[in-house]
Amino acid sequence: MTKIAVGVAGVGYLGRFHALIYARHPGVELVGVADTDAGIAAKVAEEAGCQAFTDAEELLDRVDAVSIVVPTTAHLAVARPFLEAGRHVLLEKPIAATVVEGREIVSLAERHGVILQIGHLERFNAGVMALAKGIRSPRFIEAHRMSPFVARATDVDVISDLMIHDIDIVLSLIDSEIVHISAAGAAVLTDHLDIANARLEFANGAVANVIASRVSRERMRRIRVFEHHRYQSLDFIEQTLDTAHPVKKEGAEWPEIAAERVAIEPVKPLDAEIDAFVASVRSGKPPLVGGVVGLRALEVALQVKQRIEEAPGAPAI
C-alpha cells in the first residue's frame, strides 16, 4: 500500500499531537511540519522524525494532504493554497472566523475536488458514535460542557472554543431546521464570552439546551437525549452511556424506569479522527464532518453569539 505524504501546518499544543499521530500511522509518511515559530517547528519535527519549516507553503509540493492547526482567523489564508493545489485538508474547528470565509473554504474544496474534513473532534468520541447509532427521534437535548479556566484559546469566545462541539452534535442528531435561537452569556475573565447558554428550537418541535463555560471549578462534558419512552445520558470524559426506558409492571399505576449501561470500548478521538481523514483521502469518500457540516455549525454558533450581543442590557464584547 502506497503511503500518503502528509504535513502539519501549525504545531502548537494541538498541532503537535496531529504530527505525532501521523508519525506512527502505518498508512502515512509524515513529510514535515510548519510553524511560524522556528523553535517549536524544530522541536516537534525532531519528536516526529520529519523536516521542519517556518512557512506552511513549503509543504505544498511535498504532500498529498495536510492538517491545518493554526488560529481560526488564519484558516482561509493557510488553507487556500493547499486547496487550490488539489491537496486534501483536515482543518481544525471552527471552519473559519466568519461565515463568508467558511463558504469560500467550502467552495475552494468543491471546485478543486479535494477532501475537506473539519476537526469536530467529539464526533469521533466512542460514546458519541454509540449514542448516534441508537437515536431515532429526539425531542429534547441538554448538553453541558464546563471547564476550569486555562490560558489557552482565549483569543476566541467560549461559543467558538467549546459550545460549537455540542452545537455540531445536536445538529447531527436532529434532522430539522432551526426556527428560533435564544441565548445568554457573559465575559468573566477575558474580553470574550466565557460562559454561554443557548436554546435551539427546531421546526419539528425538538428543543436543545446547550451550556458552555470555561470558568467553572470542575470539568463536565455531558449530553442527555430524551425521546418518546427513552432517555440516554452520555459522559464524554468517562465515555459511558446510560440508557433508560419505562417498564410497566402488572398492577402498578405507573411504570418503573429501567436503566442500563451500554458497553463502550473507549477510543482516542484524535486518533480516530485522523484515521477517518486518511481513509477518506485514500478512498475519495466524503468525510463524516465535511466542510458543509462544519459551516452549518459555525453559522449556528455565530447566531448564538449575535443573540447574546443583541440582548437588552448586554455589555459590549
Read off the pLDDT of residues 297-309 as tens digits, 9 standing for 90 and up. 999 999 999 999 9
DSSP lists the bridge partners of residue 317 as: none
Burial readout 234-257 (b: 16 or more C-beta within 10 A, e: otherwise): bebeebbbebeeeeeeeeeeeeee
Structural domains in the chain, CATH included, are 4-119+270-289 (3.40.50.720), 123-267+300-310 (3.30.360.10)
Q: Tell me what pLDDT residue 313 has.
A: 58
pLDDT > 90? residue 63: yes
Q: What is the mean pLDDT of residues 279-289?
A: 96
pLDDT > 70? residue 243: yes
Q: Residue 148: what residue type?
A: P
Q: Tell me the percentage of the chain whose pLDDT exceeds 70.
A: 96
Parallel/antiparallel/unpaired status of strands 240-247 and 256-262: antiparallel
Q: What is the pTM of this model?
A: 0.91
- What is the tens place of the pLDDT at every residue in 22-45? 999 999 999 999 999 999 999 999
Q: Which residue has the cell 485514500?
A: 282
